[in-house]
Structure 1
Amino acid sequence: VLLSDSETLASPPPMAPQQTGSSRKRKAQGDGQGAGSSVLPGPVMAAAPGEGPRLPKRQRRPVARRSLVHYLNGRAQGHAGLPGFESELRGYAILRLPELLQERQLALGPLNKVFASQWLNARQVVCGTKCNTLFVVDIHSGRITRIPLMRDRVPGLARPQPTCGIHAVELNPSKTLLATGGENPNSLAVYQLPTFDPVCLGDRQGHRDWIFAIAWMSDTVAVSGSRDGTVALWRMDPDMFNGISWYKDMGLPRYAHIRPKDMEAIPRATTNPGNRKVRALAFSGKNQELGAVSLDGYFHLWKARSSLSRLLSFRLPYCRENVCLTYCDDLSLYAVGSQSHVSFLDPRQRQQNIRPLCSREGGTGVRSLSFYQHIITVGTGHGSLLFYDIRAQKFLEEKSSASLDSFPGPTGRKLKLTCGRGWLNQNELWVNYFGGMEEFPNALYTHCYNWPEMKLFVGGGPLPSGLHGNYAGLWS
């Protein structure tokens, strides 16, 4: 048995009733009448000879416009729409978007397994792969641009290890810096955006094993987690940026070599003291705390300031293959993905009120997670995307096809998006160990949303560690 690598919009608003010719005429004459108007007290108007006394004109009361068109026009003009309407519209879009997404696969050539991804802008996604390739893909044209990796100060340590690759790609809050792995997967590489000029490489007194996770605490402070059982805090000094343009003009790839400001070891568990590998990190900006998951089945929490101070550690309810972690600031909730479950953690609550969810995807595991408001997206090792509503504590369901005079209703079936075949290298290992299986689902190691554009990028590859292949798809 081969081990794994870790491895809408709302419906159109109801149309306003058409105005009759007489109502249009009154409006043109400025009679001031509107739906729901009331007569205000005032003086009686003078009447023409032979007529009775005129009634006072009705004062116009602002009419509440609840149309999506009026809201969007108002937002374009720079003023707010209806109070609460934007959040209601966004919440409805979040619930409806998954069932409307359609896949378009992106060709990546012979690259091996997309492990990490982030949107750079509306049309570019930066990715890291198992074959230690950092690249940018244009989702419109499909063009791939490779980014040169930074090398350690000591060349002998810079040779990439064949079974590792780039497991983390993270942008700082202002999207001016990108942190990832170097040519040596033990080192932290930081690039300046949007030019990808190299800024610095954390290769001095840093990690002794592969970097699996990265989280930004601010625009200039990042934390990395490694297989060596440590988390390291790195600070990017503004002086590092001064010489970038000069060296770029001279054609010299010059960058600083830095060391961590602080480094903390994962406490040894009594059950499996040799498996303290840090697999995932998530930062809480609201609480200024850093959560970490280690492969020995523990969750750890640090207070993150100028240094790291560990607050607590406890054993997770499901301990096998805890490989992904995400955090929701709105709910103050961590979510941990394991072999067959997603567990929800609030470190401030002794009793967890949200029960774990089971992916039930053949034991292939949860490989990627993301929060957006109350919806959590789950990427599995079986090539599918699932969507879970935290508020309702249930998966989103498929909708039945609606007739012309009815709305679609739930079918009771879990909504599941199944990704395409991608590309698989049909080598000897594939023939000898898997009998030349034509259909082989891809593990979805990474996914990231571009909510303003209503798009979802998904990347991955075959789950068994020995197989070589990739998958990348744009869902929109």
Structure 2
Amino acid sequence: FLYGVNWVPVQFLYGVGSRDSQLALWKVDNLEKDEPTESTSLKFPDYNIKKPEVVKLCDKAQKVRALCFDYNRKELGVLSLNAYFHIWDVESFSPVSSRKLFHSRENVCMAVSIDKTMYAVGSQSHINLVDPRSPNTLTTVISKYRGGGVRSLSFKNDILTIGTGVGHVLFFDVKGGKYIETECGDVCSLKVAKGWLLHDENYREFFMEHLYPNAIYTHQYDHTGTRLFTAGGPLPAGLWGNYAGLWY
């Protein structure tokens, strides 16, 4: 399985192997394939990627779950499931440092702020804000929905957007050190819709009596910062479904 993929820069693609804890680097040529493919009708380019340029083991990592590229510092932030945060030098494709995070459960997502030189790491009930230049974690943010897990993160200027495992999107002001609130003092939150859920035999036998909101596994702002795309699906492994929404 591949849990994390990131472009570095333009013609290189980093892939992460989850079970063997390896990092691999692929080179993507600008030459498109001559053979017609199913994607040709959709006007998507096709490229030949036969094998990785380099494959290296990420030391101390047990299942690499996410990675982010800081192009200013030319480094790759790598998050492993056993709560280790790693820094790799992009030019030499070699490890620089590894540190153990405070919260060890379900470290599955990460984001980077280039301007602030800061990484955000999401776990089951917390978010760690990490400065790669310092041996210590800057700040620990407690999730408003503890136990549901943090499933996706992104920075937009001073705002950290948080996709949870319980169907809510939250907004944390990094500069102010608090969650963004409404005029009445409640935490500002976007609640996602039901999406689609497969009502198969497994659902009817084990899950029918309960409600399972969609986890937000990914989200992305457009270039204006005024529209937010969110997508995900049910959190329990026994359920099949999906959700996608656009907020503006």
In the superposition, the TM-score normalised over structure 2's length comes to: 0.91
1:57-90 CA distance string (max 9 Å, x none)? xxxxxxxxxxxxxxxxxxxxxxxxxxxxxxxxxx
Q: Which of the pair is proportionally richer in strand?
A: 2
- Which residue in the other structure is 1:30 paired with? none
2:106 aligned with 1:321, yes or no? yes
Structure 2 gap ranges (5+): none
Partner-residue secondary structure (3-state), 1:382: coil
Give the Cα separation in 1 of the matches to 2:47 and 2:176.
Answer: 49
2:2 to 211, 216, 228: 211
Partners of 1:434 and 1:473 in 2: CA distance: 24
- Return closer, same or farther for 1:370/1:396 CA change in 2, 3 Å cut-off: same
The 1:334/1:248 distance shift into structure 2, 3 A limit, reads same
Tell me by how many angstroms 1:299 deviates.
Answer: 0.7
Shift of 1:301: 0.6
- Report the aligned-residue RMSD: 2.1
Q: Which has the higher helix share?
A: 1
Report the alpha carbon displacement of residue 350 of structure 1 after superposing the two structures with TM: 3.0
Where does structure 1 lack aligned partners over 5 or more consecutive residues?
1-209, 270-275, 400-410
1:70-109 equivalences under 5 Å are none
Aligned pairs, number: 242
Aligned to 1:376: 160
Instruction: Answer whether contact 1:430 1:436 (CA < 8 A) is retained.
Output: no
Are 1:261 and 2:34 an aligned pair?
Answer: no
Alpha-carbon contact 1:381-1:443 (below 8 Å) kept: yes
1:450 and 2:190 correspond: no
> What letter is aligned with 1:473?
G
TM-score (norm 1): 0.48
Q: Aligned partners of 1:278 and 1:267: how far apart in 2?
A: 10
Would you say 1:337 and 2:122 are equivalent positions? yes
Which residue of the partner structure matches residue 179 of structure 2?
395
Superposed structure 1 runs of 4+ greater than 4 Å apart: none
> 3-state DSSP class of the match of 1:431?
helix
Q: Contact (CA 8 Å) 1:247, 1:254: kept in 2 or not?
A: no
> For residue 436 of structure 1, what is the aligned residue in structure 2?
209
Deviation at 1:440, TM superposition (A): 2.3
Q: Summarize the alignment of residues 127-206 of structure 1 with structure 2, pairs less than 5 Å apart.
A: none
Distance 2:225 2:158 in 1: 19
Question: Is the partner of 1:326 in helix, strand or coil?
Answer: strand
Q: Secondary structure at the match of 2:199?
A: coil
Does 2:230 align with 1:470?
Answer: no
Q: 1:331 is matched by which residue type in structure 2?
A: K
- Cα drift, residue 430 of structure 1: 1.7
- 1:277·1:295 contact (CA, 8 Å) conserved in 2? yes
The one-letter amino acid paired with 1:296 is: N
Matched, 1:299 2:99: no
Q: Percent identity?
A: 40
Asked if structure 2 preserves the Cα contact closer than 8 Å seen for 1:426 and 1:436, the reply is: no
CA displacement, residues 297-318 of structure 1 (integer Å, 9 cap, x when unaligned): 111110001x411001111111
In structure 2, what residue type is equivalent to 1:294? S
Query: Does structure 2 conserve the Cα–Cα contact (< 8 Å) formed by 1:213 and 1:281?
Result: yes
- Cα distance in 1, alignment partners of residues 188 and 82 from structure 2: 32
Between structure 1 and structure 2, the one with the greater Rg is 1
Matched, 1:229 2:18: no
Higher relative contact order (CA 8 A, sep 6+): 1
Q: CA deviation at 1:454?
A: 1.7
SS at match of 2:139: coil
